[in-house]
Amino acid sequence: MRPCVLFAARLARGALGAGVLLAACGSPAHPAVDAAVDAGPCWPLSATPGGQVEVGTGDLTFEPLPATLDIITSSVQSDPFVLVHARIHDLPPGNPQDILDPHNPKTKITLVVNGLTFPIGVDCPASRGYVAVPGMPGVFDMDQAIHVGFFDTPLDQVSGMQARITVEVVGSDGHYAKDEKLATLMAPP
Considering the domain boundaries, does residue 69 fall inside one?
yes
Is pTM beyond 0.85? Reply is: no
**Full domain range(s) for residue 162:** 38-186
Considering the domain boundaries, does residue 103 fall inside one?
yes
* pLDDT per residue as tens digits for the range 17-48: 434 333 444 444 544 444 344 444 688 888 99
Which residue, among 125, 180, 118, 186, has the nearest Cα to 153 in the 3D structure?
118
* pLDDT per residue as tens digits for the range 164-177: 999 999 999 999 99
Considering the domain boundaries, does residue 159 fall inside one?
yes
CATH code of 72's domain:
2.60.40
Considering the domain boundaries, does residue 23 fall inside one?
no
Considering the domain boundaries, does residue 11 fall inside one?
no
Considering the domain boundaries, does residue 132 fall inside one?
yes
**Alpha helix segments (H runs only) across the chain:** 3-11, 15-25, 31-36
Looking at the 3D structure of the chain, how many domains does it have? 1
